[in-house]
Structure 1
């Protein structure tokens, strides 16, 4: 009753990398990740589902009990009334980012910068955490204890987050995808 997204989905890629890290490898030595996915995780996988909508259906039908997914996805599903939650692994959860960038050579650069400052304000970060499950980037953000427990926020959770070196990953991603398609799925 486990779902792992395919490697073409960011969550699937991160599952592979974390399995490598947990088994003595990492971005520069992915073999332990593939071994874990093939030998220990693969036999328990119901499907390698890329669609969050389909994964929500699988949870709601009772076909799935556990999946590799993000905190914001789990929050969205829980927001429908379904009893879903996100578990932070003791080894740490992978840090994912949402980004906002001003347009280069914009005719309104001051407005663009003002908009970005607004988005990272404590007030808006609290609203984004509530609405989406995103972890606030502004350390002055105030959250309810319940919300604080359900999003990546605070020194303890943030301190345990795991970073991925995409400069290494991106050079090997095409090769890893071919290997995943041959050996994992």
Structure 2
């Protein structure tokens, strides 16, 4: 005989299952464009999980270089497919000018950022900070008895003939920074790069073995012993070292160039409130400490504290920041396309 409460029990169970199914279906997905490789791994494994659990959301990384991500955002500007994107600071200024970003909501953590991390009135904010100086193959330098480099002008030293690897400025912020510093040494500035282009064939140019577009190729050339010296950052140096590559970093006496990876909430995205919430979370000391400890991504929030190896990296980065050089991205972006054409015509012929 069927118990009298069975129908109501079945109805209750059915309602619970329906509610569970509805809750599952309601789980939101946020798409974040960012560099693949080390950054994607660090943020996926160490940073995003806490936000996902607290907000019943799934974060999916759309990997690519900053140029790739910007191109994707431009192509889908009418109906954005991403909710947030990470770009090198120079490209972020371009994205803002194109109307691809919306102003970020003020937050307590946002008020703790380094001044440089507030971009165009918080149309974007820096999430990790480094700088472009000089990387070198420590194993090769030891074998050759070479002293560590001390100046951007060392890239033109004849002893490095066919041992310099330089990043292409159309595709790499590292290469652009290096070129701009060498241009300054020749008397130029961001509104006049002719001194740099004119001097290149007699200075750095003869030493360059290869112009590369990404760090993966550079990694191979360090491993094979082809690359001796190149524009590089302390953060990438730490990452390369963790892979067993014999790379060291040198701070040029003329200064290294400030380099940030910045985030922007993509304008007219389909989850504006949740995207803003994620952007605010990524500025918190907790999120930035996780990125530092998990992948050596140095924070832009001044309240981040760490111990051990991460603490040492943080202390060193703060020391480097004292002499960091900033470049004029407004002037750069006005002229970047013509520089790229000139570089392709005169340098990487």
State TM-score, norm by structure 1: 0.85
1:163 aligns with 2:333: no
Query: Superposition pairs for residues 2-41 of structure 1, below 5 Å?
Result: 2-8=164-170, 9-41=172-204
**Is the alpha carbon distance of 1:162 and 1:138 closer, same or farther for their aligned partners in structure 2, counting shifts above 3 Å?**
same
* Aligned-partner SS, 2:297: coil
Measured in 2, the distance between the counterparts of 1:45 and 1:83 equals 20
Structure 2 gap segments, 5+ residues each: 1-162
SS of residue in 2 equivalent to 1:85? strand
User: Of the two, which has the highest radius of gyration?
Assistant: 2
Report the counterpart of residue 174 of structure 1 in structure 2: 337
Q: 2:297 aligns with which of 134, 150, 175?
A: 134
The whole-number CA distance in structure 1 between the counterparts of 2:211 and 2:317 is 29
Aligned to 2:253: 90
Higher strand share: 2
> What do the CA deviations read for 1:63-84 (whole angstroms, capped 9, x no partner)?
1121112333322211112222
Contact 2:188 2:195 in 1 (8 A): yes
Q: Any idea what SS the aligned residue of 1:97 has? A: strand
Over aligned residue pairs, what C-alpha RMSD do you find?
2.3
Instruction: Out of 73-82 and 44-53, give the one that drifted further.
Output: 73-82
Kindly provide the CA deviation profile for residues 28-84 of structure 1, in whole angstroms up to 9, marking residues without a partner as x: 121222234321111111111112111100000111121112333322211112222
Q: Which moved more, 1:8-17 or 1:55-64?
A: 8-17
Correspondence for 1:115: 278
The separation in 2 between residues aligned to 1:24 and 1:149, in whole angstroms, is 36
Write the distance in 2 (CA, Å) between the matches of 1:147 and 1:100: 23
Corresponding residue for residue 54 of structure 1 = 217
Q: Per the alignment, in what secondary structure is the counterpart of residue 77 of structure 1?
A: helix
1:83-123 Cα offsets, whole Å, 9 max, x none, are: 22222222222122212222435565443333223211122
Asked if structure 2 preserves the Cα contact closer than 8 Å seen for 1:27 and 1:169, the reply is yes
Instruction: Specify every segment of 5 or more residues in structure 1 that has no aligned partner in the other structure, as ranges.
Output: none
Stretch moving more, 54-63 or 28-37: 28-37
